[in-house]
Amino acid sequence: MTNLAARLCGEARPGQILVSQRLLTTVEALVEAEAVGELSLKGFVRPVTAFNVLRLRS
HEC assignment per residue over 1-58: CHHHHHHHHHHCCCCCCEEEHHHHHHHCCCEEEEEEEEECCCCCCCCEEEEEEEEECC
Domain for residue 53, yes or no?
Answer: no
Domain for residue 24, yes or no?
Answer: yes
Domain extent for 32: 2-47
Domain for residue 56, yes or no?
Answer: no
Please tell me the predicted confidence (pLDDT) of residue 1.
80
Domain for residue 55, yes or no?
Answer: no
**pLDDT digits over 1-55, tens only?**
899 999 999 999 999 999 999 999 999 999 999 999 999 999 999 999 999 999 9
Domain for residue 52, yes or no?
Answer: no
Does the pTM surpass 0.85? The reply is yes
Structural domain total, the chain: 1
